[in-house]
Amino acid sequence: MANEENEKRLQAILDTAVEGIITIDEAGVMDSFNRAAELIFGYAASEVVGQNVKVLMPEPYRGEHDRYLGHYVETGQRKVIGIGREVVGRRKDGTEFPMDLSVSEVKVQGRRIFTGIVRDISERKRSERQLEDLARTLAEKNRELEAVVYVASHDLRSPLVNIQGFSAELRRACDRAHQILGDTSRPQVDREELKAVLSDDVSEALSFIQNGVTKMDSLLSGLLRFSRLGRAAIRIEPVDMEALLVVVVKSLDYQIQKGGAVVSVEASLPSCMGDRIQLNQVFTNLIDNALKYRHAEREPRIEIRGEVRGQETIYSVEDNGVGIAPQHQKKIFEIFHRLDPNGTEGEGLGLTIVQRVAERLHGRIWVESEVGKGSIFRLALPSVT
Ligand code: ADP
């Protein structure tokens, strides 16, 4: 009677415990499974008691467990027992989840029993991941903000300084013209001097002012485009990159023909996870650059390839253009950074946008290049699983 009473009391304690408590014998067979374990794994105790504890584990742990337990029983070497660690559990419905597991060992009447205490930590893991994502987004935002401050203080200032200087010049030239006009005692020949002031000084100052204003306008609209990009909604889904590149290459047909370029896309380019619209923009920018920064002495050849490497699918856009010196290879991704501002049209925003999109799609981009030979831009994106 006392024994039965004790057993009942013990069962009540086990069943009200918050943690899952499972006991197994030396062979790994379960002989008790409390209420919390039922809730965590989705099995009723009656379904699993008598079965090997392996059913609660996904592969590869499932296959290794016998060896594990046997090894311990034989050698006494501990890997989990008395230590506790984070492992992966498998519910009745086949889903897997992270859990904390601590195992202790007791000897009851010469028999060895292992008690496993488990706690489902999916929620904690999720919040940890959310926190990591948040920290990453914050770091990105911070970097963007720094870039904007830099641009506002350097790039936007230099056209302003020009506008200021040449406005003063213009004022002086106008004052001088007025002076000449107002001085009735001056002879007719002075009109020639006036003409010279108007056609040289005034017109030169005006064109510098106009250039400065155009430059500022393009910097400001670039900044606006960049800041909009951070807010644009993205939809991550499997993207058929082969089809996407057909569209991109077609839309660049004019530039390709004009440059006498050959663009080849590898057959059966792998798909990836991403946003169709944003990826279209990324590849348009990369191919457009490969066409723009061509080598003067040869026709551009651009090759696009892709390769699945586990979790990542890595695409490459390779050109035989001017190439980029090692010291500039990081800088070209910075906002408004251009290596030869007067050589080609552009605002130095394309690669900044490409990098920003890559980050938003949980990917990364980098360049490998040799001056005079060409460049390979590589873009890693999550693989389709
Ligand atoms: P933009 O083309 O408007 O200048 P990007 O941000 O696209 O702006 O590129 C920044 C700079 O990186 C370019 O000005 C150029 O100097 C360099 N660059 C980009 N792509 C290539 C390339 N494929 N080959 C050589 N240089 C390149």
Tell me the pLDDT tens digit for each residue of 218-234.
888 888 888 777 777 88
**Predicted model pTM:** 0.63
Tell me the pLDDT tens digit for each residue of 110-134.
888 999 999 999 999 999 999 998 9
Closest residue (by CA) to atom 20 of ligand 1?
289
Tell me the pLDDT tens digit for each residue of 25-60.
988 999 999 999 999 999 999 999 999 999 999 988
Q: Which residue is listed with tokens 């584990």?
A: 57
CA 261 → CA 19, 232, 274, 294, 316, distances in Å? 66, 33, 28, 9, 17
Least confident of 126-130, 169-173, 374-378: 169-173
Query: Which one of 229, 281, 293, 368 would you pick to mutate in the ligand 1 pocket, going by the greatest count of ligand atoms within 8 A of its CB?
Result: 293
Ligand 1 atom nearest 374 alpha carbon? 24
Closest residue (by CA) to atom 27 of ligand 1?
293
Ligand 1 atom nearest 340 alpha carbon? 16
Q: Is the dihedral of CA 353, 358, 364, 368 positive or negative?
A: negative
Q: How far is the CA of 338 from the centre of ligand 1 (A)?
A: 6
Decide if 116 contacts 101 (C-beta within 8 A): yes
- Average model confidence (pLDDT) across the chain: 89
65 versus 259: which is more confidently predicted? 259
**Nearest of 17, 50, 56 to residue 35 by alpha carbon:** 17
Q: How far is the CA of 323 from the centre of ligand 1 (A)?
A: 10
Residue 1 reports pLDDT greater than 60:
no
Task: Give the pLDDT band (50/70/90) at residue 295.
Answer: very high
Pocket of ligand 1 (CB under 6 A): 285, 289-290, 293, 319, 321-322, 324, 332, 337-340, 346-352, 375
Tell me the pLDDT tens digit for each residue of 60-112.
887 777 777 777 777 777 666 666 688 899 999 999 999 999 988 888 888 88
**How many helices (DSSP H) and strands (DSSP E) are in the chain?**
12, 12
Tell me the C-alpha distance between 132 and 128, whole Å: 6
Round to the nearest angstrom and report the end-to-end CA distance of the chain: 58
Query: Which one of 338, 344, 355 would you pick to mutate in the ligand 1 pocket, going by the greatest count of ligand atoms within 8 A of its CB?
Result: 338
Ligand 1 atom nearest 353 alpha carbon? 6
Residue 113 pairs with which residues in a beta bridge? 106
Ligand 1 atom nearest 349 alpha carbon? 6
Residue 309 reports pLDDT greater than 70:
yes
Find the length of the chain. 385
